A and B are shown apart, each in its own frame.
Chain A
Amino acid sequence: SQELEQSPQSLIVQEGKNLTINCTSSKTLYGLYWYKQKYGEGLIFLMMLQKGGEEKSHEKITAKLDEKKQQSSLHITASQPSHAGIYLCGANFGNEKLTFGTGTRLTIIP
């Protein structure tokens, strides 16, 4: 079973619309990381969340970690074609390893 569940698996959104991607764990997270990946390329770091209730924003992307530190969401406002790609959440459960969700493929249509 997957330690991190990410949903949805894929998302098609019209340009200009908002969207949310979720990442859920059955265990308490010590750190939650959001990455973006263009097809066939490496992972680009977006944000790191460590404290319960923490929220961070960068440009039109906002990430939140719930108080229990078991669920995170990534919200994109007014989506643009440049937001297209695969979004991955990664979690640290108290050791040095990073465990990943299966990813969300985001497509932006005109």
Chain B
Amino acid sequence: DVKVTQSSRYLVKRTGEKVFLECVQDMDHENMFWYRQDPGLGLRLIYFSYDVKMKEKGDIPEGYSVSREKKERFSLILESASTNQTSMYLCATSHNYGYTFGSGTRLTVV
């Protein structure tokens, strides 16, 4: 089974802090994704990556950046966290038989 691991389940950060959300997959998949989930809005794609050092903007990239230095790791970066970035963040990887998601990181920015 594919395993997607997000390093933190819960995070509380202060406004203006730089925040790193880490995601690791164990199956050498090329495609990785970062989504955020908000009530009434569903899951929205922030960024995705189809190979090492390759990235593409999703539907809501503003305020975020990403890093993919190694194939197994895809990091989401909030350069200066703001309260409207309080959300559930989900990482995923895609493969021939679907998409596998991590357990999510619930980020609260105060």
How far, in whole Å, are A77 and B33 apart by their CA atoms in the complex?
Answer: 33
Question: How far is the CB of B51 from the nearest CB of chain A, in Å?
Answer: 11
In the complex, chain B residues whose CB is within 8 Å of the CB of A43:
90, 92, 101
Closest residue of B by beta carbon distance from A46: B98
Contact B106 A40 (CB under 8 A): yes
Within 8 A of B (CB), among A89-110: 90, 96-103
Range for the number of chain A residues in contact with chain B:
20 to 34
Does A41 reach chain B (CB closer than 8 Å)? yes
Contact A100 B42 (CB under 8 A): yes
In the complex, chain A residues whose CB is within 8 Å of the CB of B99:
33, 45, 90, 98
A36-79 vs B, CB cutoff 8 Å, 1 = contact: the mask equals: 00001111010010000000000000000000000000000000
Does B43 reach chain A (CB closer than 8 Å)? yes
In the complex, chain B residues whose CB is within 8 Å of the CB of A42:
6, 90, 101-104
Contact B42 A101 (CB under 8 A): yes
Range for the number of chain B residues in contact with chain A:
20 to 34
Does B88 reach chain A (CB closer than 8 Å)? yes
Closest residue of B by beta carbon distance from A33: B98
How far, in whole Å, are A6 and B40 apart by their CA atoms in the complex?
Answer: 11
B26-66 vs A, CB cutoff 8 Å, 1 = contact: the mask equals: 00000101010000111111001010000000100000000
Residue positions of A touching B, CB distance < 8 A: 2, 6, 33, 35, 40-43, 45, 48, 88, 90, 96-103
Closest 9 CB pairs of A and B: A102-B42, A42-B103, A100-B43, A43-B101, A42-B101, A100-B42, A42-B104, A48-B98, A96-B31
Please give 5 more A-B residue pairs, beta carbons under 8 A apart, in addition to A33-B99, A96-B94.
A33-B98, A42-B101, A43-B90, A96-B48, A98-B92
